Amino acid sequence: MAATKRREASIPLLVNRLTEAKVKEIIIVTDKQDSKTERWGKDPRVQLITITGREGLFYERFAAARQTSGKSVLFMDGNYPLSVKEINRFYKKAESGRDLTLNNKGYLLGEYPMNAKTSIHYFLNILLKRPKLLNHSLTEYPHAISRKLLHSLDPEDLMKPPVAYVKAVLSGFKISAPVRVKTAEGDVRCDEVFLGDHVEAIGLLLNERGEKAGFLDGKKHEAIVELREEEGKVNGGDE
């Protein structure tokens, strides 16, 4: 088992919880460079990766995943440290055959109006024909990824969570969302990176399943063909 986190919250508390949960590797990715971060790096249970902060959103996942060797990897946001019980619930699912273990955010579907992020996550699962996955998403922390799934992805896919998510679904990997962890639920910013990643993910789906992503168009195709045939007869008669 391995765990990675970003930002800095309460590191001693988080490290103690991860140790109690018997996590074998703890990797902290941070853009903070001061005496406190140096102390974290001296803890034999912790591997510290320092980034500049200019690498872009989700780079910390990419940076951390390259250093892990665990059968499954739990990714967390350091601003929202998990309890020992929550850590164990994620790992129990992750190591019982689930390849992708997500944060259960289904309760957000009951809000009206739904925020933009919730709507987009739900829409992507509908397009994937996996409505039971609700609005669960790889863009949301925390989540756990199996080594098998990590090996199937291109390294840069972790920097584009919707793309990695679509690849996981299309490849038939097992996905679950066993526990709700309260995170930054008020953050509904859909910037260009967020939207662009989802557009790319939908493009991947269309490339795999065809221009309608596997959905039928009812009688529309036949109606269009019939209409064009009628137009051809009319135009032929005029000439």
Q: Which long-range contacts (CB under 8 A, 24 or more apart) does 152-160 make?
A: 155/62, 155/65, 155/66, 156/62, 158/58, 158/61, 158/62, 158/65, 159/56, 159/57, 159/58, 159/59, 159/61, 159/62, 160/58, 160/197, 160/200, 160/201
- The pLDDT assigned to 28 comes to 80
**Rounded-to-integer distance, Cα 25 and Cα 22, Å:** 9
Cross-sheet strand order for the sheet of 143-146: 46-50, 25-30, 2-6, 72-77, 143-146, 100-103, 175-179
Q: Which residues contact 159 (CB under 8 A, 6 or more apart)?
A: 56, 57, 58, 59, 61, 62
For 122, list phi and psi in degrees, rounded to 5: -65, -45
Asked if 79 and 7 count as a contact pair (C-beta separation under 8 A), the reply is yes
Q: What is the dihedral of CA 63, 81, 2, 145, to 10 degrees?
A: -70
Mean pLDDT by 10 residues, the chain (239 residues): 54 76 80 63 73 70 78 82 84 85 89 85 95 92 90 88 96 90 63 90 94 77 73 58
pLDDT computed for residue 235 by the predictor: 61
pTM reported for the whole predicted model:
0.82
pLDDT at 56: 65
pLDDT at 101: 93
CB 70 within 8 A of CB 147: yes
Tens digits of residue pLDDT in 210-229? 888 888 776 766 777 777 77
Determine the pLDDT at residue 239.
43
